[in-house]
Structures are given as structure tokens and as C-alpha cells.
Amino acid sequence: MCGIFAYINHLVPRKRREVLEFIINGLKRMEYRGYDSAGLAVDSGVNQITIVKLPGKVKVLESAVMANEKLYDDFVYDVHVGIGHTRWATHGAPSAVNSHPHRSDVGNEFVVVHNGIITNYKYLKQYLTEHGFQFESETDTETIPKLIKHVYDRHPELSFRELVEQAIPQIEGAFALAIKSSHFPGECVATRRGSPLLVGIKSATHLTTDYIPVIYSADIKQSPPAQKKRNGLVNNSGTSLVNGDGDGRDSLTEFKPLNDRAEVEYFFASDASAIIEHTNRVLYLEDDDVAYVTCEGGESLRAWLELLFLRDGGLHERTRD
């Protein structure tokens, strides 16, 4: 069973070696789930992402990271996103290239870790290949970052969250995802459908809300699988993906520190055991939730976590665990 771990620090200065150690220790705490390879992705320069992934135990990954003096160093980030993964092979044998994170292109513009199985990956792979994308692994996961980049190339004006919202309806199967991008430094998007994923928040200051009101839309019904269209993909509302039509949002909740320059850390994980040493403020995401960590720039710098809920039913309030 695969394991996801992501760590985002905002105005909490962390050396790059500390970020790497957080990710590696988070992966170690999920080793009991079973896996055959491990990998991670962190920033390595301005708008640059470095991926390290190998078959074998997390200890093998740890040794490779610690041996990389250009990566395992004391460079300090005030804001940073790092993601990690342990893989249990389903599509493709255990190998470095089949391990996660997977990337959109050689420039690592979009990087994804994924739990689950994408059942329509063959169609997505064919579609993306026809649009100029080259695949390097045997996995179903690689279609995801390439699909997001496909949307980005056509709609660079969209936010990171909006790009993911446009791509996710095209994916069939079960998944939990954590995504980072060189185009959106300091931001992370996570979502799930059928695979577990939780978010933890660590902050010394109060948040704008201590519970999560979830408004269920009676008008939104279970969407059918993504349809095929000769000239491109269409989303579940029947509008064209490449046109960027359709919002698809139901309810949005934001966690904002009251202090504009508040120190806050966010964690995404497949299992609470991976983050319990850091925080006990945990929310378990439900199917089709989208969690988006972003920050405001300018004179004030504020990080917040947006939680987007896509549900059926009536009004409901879900308390934070």
C-alpha cells in the first residue's frame, strides 16, 4: 500500500536538510503499509524542483539524499513545499523511473505523488501522446502531471487549484494526490477519491475558524465518467477541458491565521502516524475534497489552507478532529 507525505512551512524557517528529514521520517512512519520504492521532491533553486527516487527501502532513499551535498545542505527556506512517497508497484516493476514522484516534463514543472489506480490511464496516455507528451515510465500516475501541464499550457491564467480542478474530472479510478509546481512556489494542492488522505495544521496562533462548515449542494449529483471527445477531453459537465469552462465548485472553507505574518506548517499524509509527532490538529479529507495551500504576497504575507468540498445533500458542519 502506497504512502504520501507532504510538508509545507510558511514563515517557519527550515534548512533544506530539515525539510528532507521531515519527509523521510514521515515516510518511515508509514513503512508498515508495505512498499517497494521511495522518492521525494523539494526545491533546489529559483523555480527549480529536484526529484530523488529509488527502488528499495526508505533507508536507501535517505542515504542517497544525505550523500547529495548540493541538496542536503543548510540553505534556509521561509516558505517551501516538499512531497514524498512510498510505492507499492501496480503498473510497472519496481525501478527508479517507475517510482514516485512523477513529473510533467524534463523541467519538473508539475510533480505528483499518487496512491490508488487510474483506470482510464491508457486513454489519457494516448490522448496526451497525441498532443506531444513523451512518457518515461510504465505507470498510470504519470498521466496526472502531464494532464495538469496540458491544461496549464492552454490556460496559464488559471490558479494552481483551478488547474487541478480542471484535470481531476478527467481521471477515473481511485486516487489520493499531492501536487507541487515550479510555476507556483510555496503552494500545494491535494485531493482524494477512494484513497485516504488527511491534512494536519500546526500553528502557534489562532485560525480564523476552528471548525469546518461543509455546505452540501443538493444540485450536484454523482458525475459520470469523463467522456471522450475527438478534438480533446471534456469535463463531466460536458464542457471542453481545453476551453477552461466550468467551475464545478460547491463549498469553500479557508483556514487563515489571524496574524498576517503568522508562522504555520501544513502536513498531508496517507496516515495520521506520519504527522502525529508534529500536530494533533487533523482533518480527514473526504472523496472529491480539494485542499489548497497558498499564500498572499505583498506587504502582508499570509498563508492559508482552502478546503473545497464537492458533495451532495444538505447543510452539514464537520468539526475538526
Catalytic residue among 1, 2, 125, 175: 2
2 is catalytic: yes
Helix (H) or strand (E) holding 128: helix 121-130
Cα–Cα–Cα angle for 157, 162, 164, rounded to 5 degrees: 120
Q: Using CA atoms, how far apart are residues 148 and 110, in angstroms rounded to an integer?
A: 7
Helix (H) or strand (E) holding 173: strand 173-181
Cα-based distances in Å from 261 to 10, 258, 265, 297: 9, 9, 13, 11
- What does the pLDDT look like over 81-99, one tens digit per residue? 999 999 776 766 778 899 9
- What does the pLDDT look like over 119-160, one tens digit per residue? 999 999 999 999 999 999 999 999 999 999 999 999 999 999
pLDDT on residue 93 = 77
The pLDDT of 163-170, averaged and rounded, is: 93
| Mean of per-residue pLDDT scores for the chain | 80
